[in-house]
Chains A and B, each alone.
Chain A
Amino acid sequence: MNDRYRLGIDIGGTFTDFALFDADTGAIFRHKQLTSPVDPSESALAGARRICEVAGVDLGQVGFVAHGTTLVANAILERKGARTALVTTAGFRDVLEIGHENRYDIYDLNLKRAQPLVPRRLRFEIKERLDLNGIPIVELGADEIRRCVADLASSDVGAVAICLLHSFRNSNHEVLLASEIRDQLPTVAVSLSSDVSPEIREYERMSTTCANAYVQPLVSRYVETLEREFVDRRGERRLFLMLSEGGLTSSDVVRQFPIRLIESGPAAGVLYAGLVGKAAGVNDLVAFDMGGTTAKACLVRNGRPRKTTTLEVARTRRLKKGSGLPIRVPSVELIEIGTGGGSIAKVDRMGLIRVGPESAGADPGPACYGREGKAPTVTDANLVLGYLNADYFLGGRLRLDSVAAERAIDDAICKVIDLSLLDAADGIYRIASEEMASAIRVHLAEVGADPRNCTLVAFGGAGPLHASYVARVLQMQGFICPPRPGVASAIGLLGAPISFDVSRSVLAKLGTVDLVTIASVLDELESQARAHLISSGVANNSITIESSLDMRYHGQFYEVTVPVPRELPLERDTLRDAFVREYEMLYRHRHDEMEVQLVTCRLRAAGATPSTGQLTSAEAPTPPISGSRTRPAYSREWGGKIDVSVYERSELPMGTVVEGPALIEEPESTTLIEPAYRGRIDELGNIRVDRRAQ
């Protein structure tokens, strides 16, 4: 592999972003273009050629292409996957639809659930049954397999998901069935729950496996197309994809586990925040990404994004837990904290301003876009308050209509309750910011982190405008707006290691389990993960391994993930102590008389992290061209309308100090620095904002 040039490509719904890194010179080239709606690989290739042209590099010289994409998330959201069948243990085909039988909104009589990806008519049953230890109670017979394959053959499906009860304990039946299906129906993609998500809880495992199967044909085709183009002169493949867990992997792994791309793009954004934090010497940070339709946050500690295995996609109601489809794959823990700049404001029956969860999105968009949108949004409020420059939105490509924004707020808010236009806009801004802060606060509390020790790293189009408020109410250390917030994910892709996470549920009491069996599960997981990495071209001796165990008090239903260093022998007392420490930190109490149970073994294998020292450095600053202007901006917390200094970011040399209140504009975003705060352009090009010493 030629490692001089690395290319990051992040495909989003609207834009595809590119970053090209030259390891020899440390230069980073950036490019952004519209995503081809029909075939996103088209724009990916066109943009790749374009950025290489600008950099004076031949595309064939690029030795490493890292790719993040929203393809999988969009396919599920828009139901554009394959016609998919499910095969499950006889008697359980409706588990996929019944789920947990509860309502995500207790008072809504008309509530709707997310439709499962496999309709009932394509859910097939097969006679077999394992008990809780994985021992067959009903064997899987050859006749059953034949009958099942025949059913599948006549149902014209492109993909099959297999999920049998307790298969995470013993995958034999799933493997047997899969091999027969592959033999007989070679064109059909097959996903096994014991491969995709070998963890206890059948509903979540089934849902995940179906989602994997559903996107498998689509992702395979897509990856093949890209790979044809990104083969270097020696015919070596050099395409790597970003997994939700924040590591890159080969296209082979992706073809097998496409569902692991579900948070591919956003994960790269979080990695970028992590790189920024590391370069800036910040240990604990919250990555805060706010765009036009969503706002997300992720805790990053010591450079590591917090992980989860519990995701939910395709919610039928925005921001409502339980209204979507559960997906269980390792992922950076991105919590949805709001609906972005497009969030719609209204007055509720109580006479209070509410913001979201309805969103005008990008289309029709906020009222000020001057399209069909007539409802006031957060972006409209930002414009009315003077935070946004009507002539410099998206670098001037979209002229904002202030009159339309004022009219929308006046109609929806001021005509209903007794508030001035500015106070109404201020209310929208504050409520939206407070809600995001609240969601971050709850999340940090749930994972035992203290916001006062964290720095906010804001990106996305709208993040830097709300960061000052959010960081202040959470009493955070301050906030950082990295350069070029609009192509954050593409840069993040360049700094990601090749890695793979694996897991398996074990369910055993710590007091009596034979720890040798746990050690052997970890060994198996390790060789499995290593094999994935080696097949992706990573040298075995450069692989690092991290393992952890999910544990709980025996009898509980939820686990705590406890890091268990691989190099140390497993030892009962140490494991128990580690668990109790973690548990006490999270929940502030302990049960000394209770037994501890091991639930799931987890392991991550990672190759070396590419050198990132230069990734976040700025291009050479240009000397200031013009002095600062001012613009009146309003906040009730500032006591009314005041003149705020306005700067063009590209004109601020390194080391510049900007006293709040100030607005720093750039084509993709605007950073607001509140009074009593001070911003500084650091040597990496970040805007670092801290409270001014009193």
Chain B
Amino acid sequence: MTLERRATALDPANDPVVLEILWGRLITILDEVDAATVRTAFSTVLAEGRDFACILLDEKARALAQGTFSTTAFVVTLPEAAKELLRAFPPSSLRPGDVLATNDAWLGAGHLDDFSFLSPVFKNRRLVGYVGTVAHLTDVGGRLDYFDSRDALEEGIRIPPCRLFREGRPDRTIFEILGANVRAPSLVLGDIEAIAATHQLGASRLSQLLDEYDLDDLVSVSEAILTRSAASMESAIAQIPDGVYTGSVTCDGRGVPVTLQATVTIAGSRLSVDLAGPPQTTRAPINVVWNLTFADTVFALKCALLPETRNNEGLYWPISAWAAEGSILNCTFPVAVQARTCTCTHTHQTIFLALGQVIPERVQAGSSASWPVEFRGRDQDGDRFAIHFFCHGGKGATPAADGLGATAFPYNSSHGSIEIYENTAAILVHKKEYRRDSGGPGRRRGGVGQEIVISTRSSEPVFARPKPDKIRFPAVGMAGGLPGARGVFSVNDDSPELPLSYDLMPGDVVTLELPGGGGFGSPLEREPSEVLSDVLDGLVSREAARESYGVVIDESGHLDEEETRRRRSLPPANSPASVQHP
């Protein structure tokens, strides 16, 4: 009996204790990589916006574990990108310290800004797995006015699968080409170097772990994690009554609205999603590559079916999904894709609506949107700046909870600090406040959106590119809940339905009124005390309390119980819930 080595005589794969311990260890390795990325990155996108994911893959490039805070879509697209990278650079050609990379939209996460990085991990000179990162980098060149791009080639520099680092040494040619083609080379190259260093950290942690447990590889651990996860998804699916369920959502698109539809078929322990019916790709850059559509689909299913389970590829084995090639959800090269979030952030809701027909207690009403705004220019010192200002509307309500105000969904980007933004870019934020009456009324209220007002502090023009959404079609309510308020984007007094990009002059004012989330259940069933509390907090106006919720509150802020009972008992035709608000 030795305690030096902790390998047990048993196969870890069949030991519920050892497997649990190893699985937990794998995740802590990724959390360490994640923390190092945030702490050493140079861009607002990574350090403040957290628009990246860290993933561990097994020797077959299957995703085994991810950092706790990873961006949801990336953890599904990375293994796909990894398989393509390994097609170009077979595992037998890899050495410690190598970093493979590509930003090809079709191989990776759907637009050039998202780079997929992959580094091999070795034990006794044998390849045992990979550490991977998908990260949104600050710039990839291409048109600043990307809504005008006609094809993907206008959208920036495309790096096909390449060996960015060879045994720890950067390929200077690629770095120079990249640096020469992007607008903020120090941020882009600084972030890449930071990520490469975090991969070496992850690789050394993984090999330490294998040493400690006297494991030659991850094969049996990986097999056990993936097959157990698959089995658990199968049993979660099997608990839903067999049937065919459909949901559809209409979103703003660019000029022409886009309707997405999902048909979810449950048959025993299998689940399939048919995304037939989306329109053909458009000339607007809102097309979505298949990798990302699949990621958005399985994300929604995981939230509804197995939210607490640690994510990995095995969970998705019992799930199949399909969208017609050449459609907006499965576009083909070289259509433009840069603003794909205008489309893909709606995919999850079609699934929630479909599942809402059979398991309404497990889904969520429509969430609003993320409206990242890019600002570029020169500050008072003449230094260039480029930032992504992330901000979000309200999250949808669920049967159990009101939607959170101003919260990212489905992706998980972050808003940083106004003081930091103002120290980084020549902008001035005048207001950042909840938007009253923007949360969709419901038994559970949708999350409220927010209003943000920004001007510039440069004597030169500052380039600003907003990406608003849900200006025409709001976040949907469910089960009798009402939609959230639509968003409004304005520059000075102009509120275009199709915002482009702007050269902001001193004195120009940008106003973002972000949409609210959808409500869940009839607003007439909301507890009057909850409505009162919202009114006292100024999140709901007295008028809206009366019109949408049938709750009457007098001027001094007291609940009029009798009048409330009367209004709430009106026959349905006149019932307040039929009044669309706002």
Contact = CB atoms under 8 A, between A and B. Distances in A.
Interface in B57-91: 68-70, 72
Nearest to A640: B1
Interface in B412-450: 412-420, 422-424, 428-434, 450
A95 interface: yes
A108 B35 CA distance: 22
A636 interface: yes
B334 interface: no
Contacts of A351: 16, 228
Contact of A106 (B20, B48, B70, B363): B70
A224 interface: no
A234 interface: no
B235 interface: yes
Contacts of B21: 430-431, 434
A556 B42 contact: yes
Interface string B371-398: 0000000000000000000111000001
A625 interface: no
A473 to B, nearest CB: 7
Contact of A102 (B413, B419, B431, B432): B413
A110 B398 contact: yes
Among A94, A202, A351, the one with the most B-chain Cβ atoms within 10 Å of its Cβ is A94
B433 A93 contact: yes
Contacts of B38: 557-558
B414 A102 contact: yes
B538 to A, nearest CB: 6
Given A201-B419, A507-B423, A556-B40, A103 B409 contact: yes
A441 to B, nearest CB: 7
Interface stretch (A297-305, A489-497, A585-593): A585-593
Interface in B193-224: 193-194, 197, 200-201, 205, 212
Given A98-B406, A202-B418, A121 B536 contact: yes
Interface residues of B, number: 97
B25 interface: yes
A586 B40 CA distance: 10
Nearest to B1: A639
A214 interface: no
Q: Which bucket holds chain A's interface residue count?
A: 35 or more
Interface in B1-41: 1-3, 6, 8, 16-17, 19-21, 23-25, 28, 31-32, 35-36, 38-41
A435 interface: yes
A427 B17 contact: yes
Interface string B181-201: 000001100100110010011
A233 interface: no
A202 B70 CA distance: 25
A107 B42 CA distance: 28
Nearest to A587: B40
A354 to B, nearest CB: 7
A350 interface: yes
Interface in B288-307: 299, 302-304, 306-307
A200 B187 contact: no
Interface stretch (A111-119, A179-187, A238-246): A111-119
Contact of B392 (A101, A439, A557, A588): A101
A424 to B, nearest CB: 9
B538 A353 contact: no
Given A94-B433, A352-B19, A638-B1, A557 B416 contact: yes
B364 interface: yes
Interface string B534-554: 001111000000000000000
A507 B417 CA distance: 14
A106 B300 CA distance: 11
B41 A556 contact: yes
B401 interface: yes
Contacts of A232: none
A113 B404 contact: yes
Nearest to B47: A557
A107 B302 contact: yes
A352 to B, nearest CB: 4
Interface string B223-241: 0000011001001100000
Given A107-B303, A558-B40, 13 more contacts: A98-B406, A98-B450, A101-B390, A107-B311, A131-B428, A427-B16, A431-B24, A434-B24, A434-B25, A473-B212, A587-B194, A588-B201, A638-B1
Closest 3 A-B residue pairs measured CB to CB? A91-B431, A557-B47, A427-B17
Interface of A: 90-95, 97-113, 119-121, 129, 131-132, 137, 165-166, 200-203, 321-322, 347-354, 417, 419, 423, 426-427, 430-431, 434-435, 438-439, 441-442, 445-446, 472-473, 507, 553, 555-558, 586-589, 591, 594, 636-639, 674-676
20 contacts: A97-B405, A98-B405, A99-B415, A101-B391, A103-B407, A103-B409, A103-B412, A107-B303, A109-B303, A132-B423, A200-B419, A201-B419, A350-B309, A351-B228, A352-B16, A353-B17, A427-B16, A442-B28, A446-B35, A553-B42
